[in-house]
Structures are given as structure tokens and as C-alpha cells.
A and B are shown apart, each in its own frame.
Chain A
Amino acid sequence: MRILRCIALSAALALLPGAAFAQGKTAPKDAKLYFITPSDGARVRGGFWVRFGLRNMGVTHAGDDYQNAGHHHLLVDVKDPIDPKEPIQQDKSHLHFGAGQTETFLELSPGNHTLQLVLGDAKHYPFDPPVVSEKVTVRVRQPPQRGK
């Protein structure tokens, strides 16, 4: 009996890291990712602050593999759907906040832009189910003073 239990325990221990590294880490069902600011349809001038809200999960550094924690990614004008099997892209429209930041100052060109938050795990993969915010639209107007 004791041997069996030992085997079961070691099997569980051996499998654990494997499970941890599998893509699509599970997230609590009630996790909610949202924008504190700006609100959908907001009109801004020049640069503006974007603040990220997260409920029922924690924010941590990229690379830290804690249960129910991840780091923010801000998607600007991204139209492609999120691929749960790939790390969240890294480019000028996929901004990473791997140091655990919860806000950023954005400067976008005048016009309409969409913003969306996606939570990534230690290795930048989306969670399963993906923890994403609503897509909000902001209208950026010409900055107040720039003679051109």
C-alpha cells in the first residue's frame, strides 16, 4: 500500500512540471480583465494613460509561474484573433508588460484606434479560456499645440 502511494506521489510530482509548462494554463472562470481608463468611445487629445484592471487573478512578472497570475499585453488595432497555441506576438501593436506594469502612457496617431487587453502566462501564452478584455475604441484628436 505504502509503495503504491509512493509511486502515485512520485508520478504526480513528475507530471506536475509537465502540466505547468503545457500551453493554455487554466484560469479561474470568474477572472475579469478590463480597462479602468479609457472607456469605450473615449475622445482623447495627444497622449493618454491606459490603466489595466484585473479581478480574481494576480499580476506578476513574465517568467514567474504562479497559479492564477499572469502579465498584461495591450493590443492596439489588432484585428487577427488570438491564437491560444502561440505566445502572444511581440511587435509595435502587441505591447508587453512583462515587468508587471498595470498602466502605460500611449501616444497614437490621430484617428480611431481599438485597444484590447490579453493576459499572458509565464511564457506569454494566453490562458485557457483566454483572459481578454472587451475591445474599446478611442478617438485620438490632433494634439493641442503642434504647428505643422
Chain B
Amino acid sequence: MGEIRNFRSGNHGDPPPQGSMPRRLAAIIVGDIASYSRLMQADEEGTHVRVKRIERDLIEPSIIEHHGSLVKTTGDGFIAIFDSPVEAVRCSIVIQQNLIGRNASLPRESRIEYRIGVNLGDVIVEPDDIYGDGVNIATRIEGIAEPGQVYISGAIYEQIKHKVVCGYESLGDRKVKNITDPVRIYRVLPDADAVGRTRGRRENTLILLLGLTLLVIAGGVLWYLLMQQAGNTVERAAAPAVSPVASPSPQPPPRETATQTPQPSPSVAASTPSPAPSPSPSVTPAREPEMITIRGGSFAMGSNDDPTERPIHQVTIKPFSIGKYPVTVGEWNECAAAKACSFVATGKDDAPVTNVSWTDAQQYAAWLAQASKKPYRLPNEAEWEYAARGGTQTKYWWGDKLQPGMAGCKDCGDLAAEQPAKVGSFKPNPFGLHDMGGGVDQWVEDCWHRTYQGAPGDGSAWNSGDCTSHVLRSGSWKNDSRYVRPSNRDGYDTNVRYPTHGFRIALSP
């Protein structure tokens, strides 16, 4: 840290000869390990080795991947410059998200957490160092940042606010040491997971209160409705709401196409039964799978482990929801009972449905969307991987090593089974999703392409080209651990059923 503080702008020390010293505008990242001295005191050699490994495995490759260059590493930190502010911020987010994954299994006191500051400034570039106000400001911003966070200056914010889709929290103008003008600072909130761990207590309490209030209201409404129509429910269950004509009154009468957002009609309170946040199967027309909301964000999609996963490319994901589990036999059979899905699945109700083709999965999604009046659909491939990674960039969402209890596959450490385990038998990932890897293969919306050459970067489904095959994700209980990786992908004939293929559902906001 000491070295960074010694930067002087311009003419201090031995000034470069006139004209030959290149000045340039650059986005500067300054990173620094929080509580470095404490870590060193506890375990000097171990910490040193770990820091070097993080620099070699994570920081340097991330910088290169985002077209930046590492200026230097100090004992406990690093400085890098980028031509593009967007790339600089993305790189910072990737580094921080990766560190979350690496730290997940460690006790709090031995976690290595970086503070990262990003600023845009005119700097003097020398082969092994850079100088200028811009660097000093980046260093100050980094000093203010909380461990595990990325703070950016107003200049960076102005450049990226519409380009990197994530949350920004304004921290106002801050006066920083030895800099005359106050600097506007923003905190970057990359995604739901990071927000979860960094959100202020005040916000957490607010959200909790809001959730509780909603639950109480919904509960009250449900109770009221149940009392009102105790007799009515029986006939309603008998005549499923799928048939667009029949079905008696308590539903709001207009039945438009499913893609519309639910219209809060007559009085808000009375119309809550169908879109109520806590669904109750006996009242709602279709049992909707449990969904988890994913905040949008940006991530590096793909890996170098398999040719189909190359090239690694940056993808921005808009907010969406995805099923907490794969669709189950019980959920599928409601669609079959409504004659909207073409076969009745066998097996336990809480087992994932299998032997479905992509076309079958689409039928279920269309039925669910129609029955619930919500835009249910299959997830896009990018959304699936983003959700499966849960904010991590490691080989598996829990780290780089195989661990028992995390996923169901042939050699994942648990007893190999004849059938897939019931949904939710393994631990959830940081986003709270189960079975994102192992269990059953899962169809996504996209057509199959052998590589990511030409893939979209906006998180949309890639539907051009040969569409006789679609993409499968997750790997199954019959595959080995290579298939459990969140970046693993494969293609399969669109209309063909296979005993290990299932799916999960997504929902646009």
C-alpha cells in the first residue's frame, strides 16, 4: 500500500523529458487486500502463497481477458489500466465475484478480500508504473471501499451507467486527502447475491418488513377468499382454468393472451388470488413452480475446459426469475391432466420429470403461461449459466474441487442411483437454486451451436442457425463430474425424448 500512496502527479522526482513521455486517458483500477497486516500476522507464508495464487489465477487472467494491462502488483495490491471504462468495471466485478466463490468455504478471519477503486484519468505511463492525479484518486476511492466491493468515480459512472447493467449506489461527493475538488463516488452492486451480502442493514430491514407486510396481506386475502367460497373451490378444481371458456366467476373475467402482465383489475385486494406471492395450490388455477428472482448483472460466460465452451465472452443479463428446482413429475402431470402436455409422467411427485423433449418442455411452458397468465418460458442459455454460477467464476459453483452433497452425478461422491434424486436433495447454490448441475439435463431456449463464436452478449436466446437441435445444460445423474460444471453444454435433437432430460422454467419480470 505504501508505494501507491507515494504517487505524485507530474514534476516530482525525475521528470520525463519533454514530449517523449506518453500521457493518455485511461481507466485505472486500484485493488488492495483488506486487513492484509492481520492476515500476514496470522500466517505469513500461507497468506503470501494464497495472494500470489489469486494474482496468478484470477487477477492477471481477468485483466487480460478484459483487454487491460497490469501495471504492477504491490505486496498486497495491484494497479491495472484499461482503455475502456466498461471493461475496467466488468473486470473488477469478475474479480470480486470470483473471490466470493473462493472465500465461501473459508472462515471469516482467513478470507482474502479486496477493496477495488476505479477512476478515469489522464496519466503518465511508464513501463512499470503510472503517475498522475487519476491514480491518486483511484487509490483514495479504493481506500474508502468496503472489502469485497467495487467503488467507482463519477467520471467512470458517466461512461458506463447505460452499458454495464448492474446497480449503482451513489455515495455522494467525498472529499479525499490531498485532492482539492471533492470526488463523486458510486458503489457498484453487481447482482442479487452480492447485494445480499453487502446491502445495508437499513435496507435489509426495510425489505424484510415489506415482505412481511405483503405476506400478511396475502394471507388475509387468501383466508377471506377461502371462507367466502369454501363450496365454490370444488367445482373450480374440477373444471381446470385452462379451457378458456368455462370456469366460474371469482376470476377477473378478461382472458387475454398469456404474455401480458397480470392486470390488477376491479379492486386490487380482491383480485390477488391468482398472482399472490405465496401461491396456494388449492386456490390458484395452476400450481406454479417455486421461483427465485435473479437480479441482472454481467458475467464471463463459458470456459476453456471444452471446445464447445469457447470463447469466454462477457454477457449482460437482465433481471428474471427461474425455477428453484427442475419441473417435477407432480407439476408436469397437472399439465398432462389439462391435456396440454402429451404424456403422463411416471414416478414420485417430487422427482424431476424426465424423458421430455425440447418440444415437450415448450408445451409445458406455454400451458403454464396460459394457465397462470404470466410470461413463463424456458430460460435462455446465458440466463441458465448466470444462475448456475450464482455469482462465482470457479469450476463448480462451490469451488474448484469436487465435494459430496453438492450435485447428483455418477462420480460426485454420493451413491450412484438408478434414478435421479428428488428435487432439492443437494445443497442450493449462492442464488438459492437447487440442482443447477447434475440431477437431470435441462433444456434451454437456445438452438445448439458448437461454439460461442458469434453468440449474443445481451443475454437473449440465440435462435439463429440450425435449429434441429437445442441446448441441454446441467448434466445428469448418469454423467460424470465434468458435466456438472456450470459452463458445460451439449446439444440434442429438438423432438427426441431421452430418459435423463428434464427442464426448469423461467419467468420474465
A positions within 8 Å CB-CB of B:
61-63, 87, 89-92, 96-99, 107, 109, 123-124
Contact = CB atoms under 8 A, between A and B. Distances in A.
B490 interface: yes
26 contacts: A62-B493, A62-B497, A63-B496, A63-B497, A87-B499, A89-B478, A90-B441, A90-B478, A90-B492, A90-B498, A90-B500, A91-B479, A91-B483, A91-B490, A92-B490, A96-B492, A96-B496, A97-B493, A98-B492, A98-B493, A98-B495, A99-B494, A107-B307, A109-B307, A123-B499, A124-B498
Contacts of B483: 91
Interface residues of B, number: 20
A61 B359 CA distance: 15
Given A89-B478, A90-B492, A99 B497 contact: no
A123 B496 CA distance: 10
Most buried by B among A62, A89, A90, A124: A90
A61 B495 CA distance: 9
Given A89-B478, A91-B490, A96 B498 contact: yes
Contact of B496 (A62, A92, A109): A62
B468 interface: yes
Chain B interface SS verdict (over half): loop
Interface string B471-488: 000001011000100000
Most buried by B among A87, A98, A107, A109: A98
B476 to A, nearest CB: 8
B498 A99 contact: no
Nearest to B475: A91
Interface in B22-66: none
Most buried by B among A87, A89, A92: A92
A66 to B, nearest CB: 15
Nearest to B450: A107
Contacts of A123: 499
A61 B478 CA distance: 23
Interface of B: 306-307, 441, 450, 468, 476, 478-479, 483, 490, 492-501
Contacts of A92: 306, 490
Contact of A99 (B307, B468, B501): B468
Nearest to A125: B499
A13 B492 CA distance: 35
A54 B504 CA distance: 37
Given A63-B496, A90-B492, A98-B496, 6 more contacts: A90-B441, A90-B500, A91-B479, A91-B490, A97-B493, A99-B494
Contact of A124 (B468, B495, B499): B499
Contacts of A97: 493
Q: Which 10 A-B pairs have the closest CB atoms?
A: A98-B496, A62-B496, A98-B493, A99-B493, A91-B479, A87-B499, A90-B498, A63-B497, A99-B468, A90-B500
B495 A99 contact: yes
B249 to A, nearest CB: 42
A84 B445 CA distance: 33
Contacts of A61: 495-496
A134 B496 CA distance: 26
A124 B483 CA distance: 20
A141 to B, nearest CB: 17
A52 B441 CA distance: 27
A63 B307 CA distance: 30
A128 to B, nearest CB: 19
Contacts of B495: 61, 98-99
A11 to B, nearest CB: 25
A124 B476 CA distance: 16
Nearest to B480: A91
Contacts of B492: 90, 96, 98
A80 to B, nearest CB: 12
A109 B306 CA distance: 11
Nearest to A88: B498
Contacts of B441: 90
B243 to A, nearest CB: 28
Contacts of A91: 479, 483, 490
Contacts of B497: 62-63
Most buried by A among B441, B497, B498: B498
A96 B478 contact: no
Nearest to A92: B490
Nearest to B483: A91
A90 B441 CA distance: 10
A110 to B, nearest CB: 12
Contacts of B493: 62, 96-99
Contacts of B498: 62, 87, 90, 96, 98, 124
Contacts of B307: 107, 109
Contacts of B501: 90
A72 to B, nearest CB: 12
A67 B239 CA distance: 41
Contacts of A89: 478
A63 B441 CA distance: 19
Nearest to B494: A99
Nearest to B497: A63
Nearest to B308: A92
Contacts of A109: 307
